[in-house]
């Protein structure tokens, strides 16, 4: 990979986030699909039929040095339609965005969004990335009631050869898996994901708790919550902190407190509820007992502290 400073930049001045392609010493090949490890790169004829049936592979490559172009010129800024990330095959990628603000979108996520033909997602999440979008990009927004139909539309666009990015709130890997499953069901194949920054990470930062002493649990999911509720109770009994995403329609922070207290949790656990992180942040602190019955907005996340902080392991060091 060329040194990061030498990477081409888009017209928006963003450096490409990850550039995949042959190492500079390899001979030039313009369009590459990443083959299995150790096999080397191979050239694909274009246009291509959708090759996704069951495949999960790296999807972008960069032309490091087009023929006849001196190396220095190859790394000058390129207009958007000579994409710095050259798309090898039509792709669909799920990108974590937010939560709540463009500042918390990774540079790789931004590059993918900027270079997509189609950007799709829930209205609130698409709104986060809207400042990156150009008129020529197609936008497909959806809500809970029409997500299946809209994702089918996106899958059709993808199958017709459009490069699609589906944006998910925060990190795909925390409370995003059911939506990811819906995307994959619509497409009929696995979809690449790009991690984002989650509201749980932001809360860990606000509350100064470290991941190794904290368990993340989401209740923002369809289906039976019982195993997750039991796990939460055990987490607190085990002396760990818990970061909890509530379920807006029936298991909000007040209900979480009621459930835990009924199960014998100490009323004295220190609790923080943060709303609208990265936007109009609101913070409430109290005890588990005080959280019972309190109302918070849907955009809330909860930190329940262990009764006794774990030793840091550095006690006694000079």
Ligand X SMILES: C[S@@+](CC[C@H](N)C(=O)[O-])C[C@H]1O[C@@H](n2cnc3c(N)ncnc32)[C@H](O)[C@@H]1O
Per CB under 6 A, residues contacting ligand X are 99-100, 169-171, 174-176, 198-200, 220, 245-246, 248, 274-278, 298-301
Burial of 101 (0-12, 13-18, 19+ CB in 10 A): middle
Maximum Cα interatomic distance, the chain, rounded to a whole number of Å: 73
d(CA 124, CA 99): 10
181 vs 298 by CB, closer to ligand X: 298
89 vs 167 by CB, closer to ligand X: 167
| Three-class DSSP category at 119 | strand
Smallest gap from Cβ 62 to ligand X, in A, equals 29
By the 8 A CB rule, do 217 and 245 touch?
yes
156 vs 281 by CB, closer to ligand X: 281
234 vs 298 by CB, closer to ligand X: 298
User: What residue is closest to ligand X based on CB?
Assistant: 170
d(CA 84, CA 296): 44
Contacts of 141 (CB under 8 A, 6+ apart): 120, 121, 122, 123, 126, 150
Smallest gap from Cβ 226 to ligand X, in A, equals 19
59 vs 252 by CB, closer to ligand X: 252
Smallest gap from Cβ 304 to ligand X, in A, equals 14
60 vs 179 by CB, closer to ligand X: 179
Smallest gap from Cβ 294 to ligand X, in A, equals 15
Smallest gap from Cβ 32 to ligand X, in A, equals 32
Tally Cβ neighbours within 10 Å of residue 17.
Answer: 16
31 vs 217 by CB, closer to ligand X: 217
Contacts of 233 (CB under 8 A, 6+ apart): 259, 260, 263, 265
Contacts of 75 (CB under 8 A, 6+ apart): 2, 6, 7, 8
Smallest gap from Cβ 95 to ligand X, in A, equals 12
Residues making up the chain, counted from first to last: 318
Smallest gap from Cβ 76 to ligand X, in A, equals 37
């Amino acid at each position: 990979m060329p040194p990061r400073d030498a990477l081409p930049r888009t017209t928006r001045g963003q450096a490409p986030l990850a550039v995949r392609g042959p190492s500079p010493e390899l001979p030039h090949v313009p369009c590459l699909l990443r083959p299995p490890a150790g096999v080397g790169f191979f050239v694909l004829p274009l246009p291509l039929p959708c090759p996704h049936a069951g495949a999960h592979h790296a999807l972008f490559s960069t032309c490091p040095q087009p023929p006849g172009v001196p190396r220095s010129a190859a790394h000058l800024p390129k207009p958007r339609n000579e994409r710095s990330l050259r798309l090898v095959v039509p792709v669909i990628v799920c990108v974590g965005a937010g939560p709540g603000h463009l500042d918390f979108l990774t540079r790789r996520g931004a590059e993918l969004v900027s270079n997509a033909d189609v950007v799709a997602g829930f209205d609130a999440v698409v709104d986060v990335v809207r400042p990156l979008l150009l008129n020529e990009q197609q936008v497909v927004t959806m809500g809970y009631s029409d997500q299946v139909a809209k994702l089918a539309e996106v899958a059709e666009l993808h199958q017709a050869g459009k490069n699609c990015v589906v944006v998910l709130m925060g990190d795909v890997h925390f409370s995003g898996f059911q939506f990811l499953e819906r995307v994959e069901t619509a497409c009929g194949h696995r979809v690449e994901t790009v991690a984002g920054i989650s509201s749980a990470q932001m809360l860990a930062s606000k509350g100064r708790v470290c991941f190794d002493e904290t368990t993340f649990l989401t209740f923002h999911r369809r289906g039976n919550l019982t195993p997750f509720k039991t796990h939460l109770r055990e987490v607190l009994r085990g002396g760990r902190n818990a970061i909890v995403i509530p379920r807006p329609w029936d298991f909000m922070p007040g209900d979480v407190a009621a459930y835990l207290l009924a199960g014998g949790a100490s009323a004295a656990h220190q609790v923080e509820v943060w709303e609208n992180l990265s936007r109009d942040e609101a913070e409430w602190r109290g005890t588990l007992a005080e959280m019972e019955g309190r109302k918070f907005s849907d955009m809330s996340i909860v930190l329940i502290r262990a009764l006794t902080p774990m030793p840091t392991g550095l006690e006694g060091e000079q």
